[in-house]
Structure 1
Amino acid sequence: MRWDYGKVYQEIRKSKGLTQEDVCQDFLARSTLARIESGNTIPKFDTMVFLLHQIDMSLEEFEYICNLYHPSPRQEIINAIYSQHDLVGTKEIEILQKKCQDYLKTYHDIPIEHILDILNVVISLRRNGLHNQNDDFQKNTQKIWSYLEKQNTWYENDLRLLRTIIYYFPIETIKEITPKILDSLAKYKDFQNIKSCQLSFLTCLSTIYLYNNLLEDCEKMSSMMLQLSLELKQYDSLALSQVRLGICRKDDDLIKKGLELLRLTEETALLKTMEEEIKKFR
């Protein structure tokens, strides 16, 4: 990692054909930018945000460039945990678990500790199944919940953490915390990056309520899921929400509509799951 980020900023600025005057205008003294670029001044947070906006760059991209166009070890872990394609098998999850353990030997990093907790839960589920869990599984899920339970508001990554363990809560607890989940998600309604997390959470809640025969609650979650699926053009989720709403409302036309969409998009695995749900709950 290059820590002379003032120099990196200067290189990017020049490559874009921008002068210090172009960047600063009347909002920042040119001499301040000169000191930052020479490494003689550490910029304040709001100053760095302003400078990055001027070169049309996110903090994540700037950090990536500072790391010689590679993700840092920390970012590699974060990228992997949020990429379903990278964690399809238990072996890949165990490799990432080892990376977290090695990283935490050198650094104190609460988010990476949380990722390690998630991985421990997932690996335990893969090895032992849902109904044959040991004390370590309970310890890891409780550790995550102890961190989340004390918070007044759940933020994006808190919600991702909660989604990992919510299936293992008693239904009474889920009903109790659902309003807080929805309230936390609603605060992010204009934050584009949260949309996939919102959709995933609504799917989780819809599933939990359906399988506990709480059709009124399932209908509410599925209705919200349908609207968000339309907004995101997420057709697998749209079809799922149509089938679930059809089950809850006893609407065979809506069920048929969802199944046809799954056939058109060749979502065979999800189609099979929906057909099983229809047999069980309709």
Structure 2
Amino acid sequence: MFLGPAIKQIRSSKGISQSILADGIMSRSNLSRFEGGKYYPGYDKLILLLDKLEMSLEELLFLHNGYAQPEKRTLHLSLVEVANRYEFGKVRTISYECRSLYEVTRTEAYYHLYLLGQGFLIQYQREDEIRQLSELAEEIKPYLMGADIWYLYEFKLLNNFLFTLSSGDAIFFGRRAADEFDKYHDFAESRTIQQHLMQNIAKICLKEQNYEQSLFFLMKALPLADKTNLLYDKIVTLVYYEITLLCLKHKVDTDQLLSYLDILRQLEFTGSYDALQQVCRLHLPDIF
């Protein structure tokens, strides 16, 4: 993979000369050879060049691939899209494609995408090669247990496969995720996945009427909703938080809960508003 031409394109578009970009990193002649595809610098020097260009490696690869996302990302998005449209034949086709790519490359992420596709089919009673969600869980749990340190991929993987886990397993891995997240405190790009994961596990706990555990994960999710500046996520998290506090008898006043629901209604998040009203009726029948 020759990234030099992409570096040249970025440098030129920003009006930066070769001598300025190369200064302190490599000789200007080596930069010229790199941009011409005749020399490849060490990874440390590539990172320094990108830092000077205010460019991430992910964005560089996106540009290098002609404004196309990496194949794994494209397959994941396609899989979720066709599942949301109930196009089960396409879910099966993409799932098989991911398995074939795994067999060729031995890249585990492709196998996980195959499993995810099989999971979508099971969810909608279209079982294929794998028949039970528990079979998927038994594939994912050893992977998560075997990782000494979790990185963003492991957090995303857990979030993607929560629907296959028992509430006990979701809590177990969720608490480990909460501990692992501490290392990512200052990494802004991780906050959205952290917030979604903590909120999703809290919802599982709430469904099981495990309000204490739900509160634990909601307390983790709320500060992250502030930091991500995602208004919708924050309001939904606050709704679950208020429901949990009321179920635990930590408060009796429903004004805050009703106000958050009303915000969703006014912002025309009708589907979420109706779904959360149902959650309220289930857990707070005396109030709703």
TM-score bin (small chain): 0.7 to 0.9
Q: Tell me the TM-score normalized by structure 1.
A: 0.84
**One-letter identity of the residue aligned with 1:258:** Y
Q: Structure 1's 51 and 174: CA in aligned 2 closer, same or farther, altered over 3 A? A: same
1:26 paired to 2:24: yes
Contact 1:23 1:54 in 2 (8 A): yes
> 1:239 aligned to 222, 235, 238, which one?
235
Q: Per-residue displacement from partner, 1:217-250 (whole Å, max 9, x unpaired)?
A: 2122223333332333433333333332322322
1:142 paired to 2:138: yes
Q: Secondary structure at the match of 2:218?
A: helix
Which whole-Å CA distance do the structure 2 matches of 1:136 and 1:218 have between them? 26
Contact 2:203 2:214 in 1 (8 A): yes
Structure 1 equivalent of residue 265 of structure 2 = 263
Which whole-Å CA distance do the structure 2 matches of 1:4 and 1:178 have between them? 40
Q: Structure 1's 220 and 253: CA in aligned 2 closer, same or farther, altered over 3 A? A: farther
Greater mean deviation of Cα atoms: 228-237 or 150-159:
228-237
Which whole-Å CA distance do the structure 2 matches of 1:98 and 1:134 have between them? 12
Q: Structure 1's 13 and 174: CA in aligned 2 closer, same or farther, altered over 3 A? A: closer
Q: Per-residue displacement from partner, 1:57-100 (whole Å, max 9, x unpaired)?
A: 2222322332234345445225546xx65752232534532442
Q: Structure 1's 70 and 243: CA in aligned 2 closer, same or farther, altered over 3 A? A: closer
Q: Per-residue displacement from partner, 1:188-216 (whole Å, max 9, x unpaired)?
A: 22222222211211221111211222212
Identity of aligned residues (%): 19
1:207 paired to 2:193: no
Query: How many residues were matched structurally?
Result: 275
Structure 2 equivalent of residue 13 of structure 1 = 11
Which whole-Å CA distance do the structure 1 matches of 2:229 and 2:24 have between them? 43
Contact 2:192 2:224 in 1 (8 A): no
Contact 2:184 2:190 in 1 (8 A): yes
Q: How far did residue 134 of structure 1 move?
A: 5.9
Q: Structure 1's 106 and 34: CA in aligned 2 closer, same or farther, altered over 3 A? A: same
Q: Secondary structure at the match of 2:148?
A: coil
Q: Secondary structure at the match of 1:18?
A: coil
Q: Tell me the TM-score normalized by structure 2.
A: 0.82
**One-letter identity of the residue aligned with 1:55:** L
Q: How far did residue 182 of structure 1 move?
A: 0.4
Q: Secondary structure at the match of 2:268?
A: coil
Q: Per-residue displacement from partner, 1:130-174 (whole Å, max 9, x unpaired)?
A: xxx964643333112221111222221111111233344333333
Q: How far did residue 270 of structure 1 move?
A: 1.6
**One-letter identity of the residue aligned with 1:159:** F
Q: Per-residue displacement from partner, 1:8-56 (whole Å, max 9, x unpaired)?
A: 3234323433222111223322233233234333221111111122233
Contact 2:222 2:234 in 1 (8 A): yes
Cα RMSD of the aligned pairs, angstroms, is 2.8
Structure 2 equivalent of residue 248 of structure 1 = 244
Structure 2 equivalent of residue 53 of structure 1 = 51
Which whole-Å CA distance do the structure 2 matches of 1:54 and 1:189 have between them? 24
> 1:151 aligned to 134, 142, 147, which one?
147
Q: Structure 1's 107 and 175: CA in aligned 2 closer, same or farther, altered over 3 A? A: closer
Which whole-Å CA distance do the structure 1 matches of 2:145 and 2:23 have between them? 47
Contact 1:238 1:258 in 2 (8 A): no
Which whole-Å CA distance do the structure 2 matches of 1:18 and 1:7 have between them? 15
Which whole-Å CA distance do the structure 2 matches of 1:255 and 1:158 have between them? 33
**One-letter identity of the residue aligned with 1:278:** C
Contact 2:215 2:244 in 1 (8 A): yes
Q: Structure 1's 65 and 47: CA in aligned 2 closer, same or farther, altered over 3 A? A: same
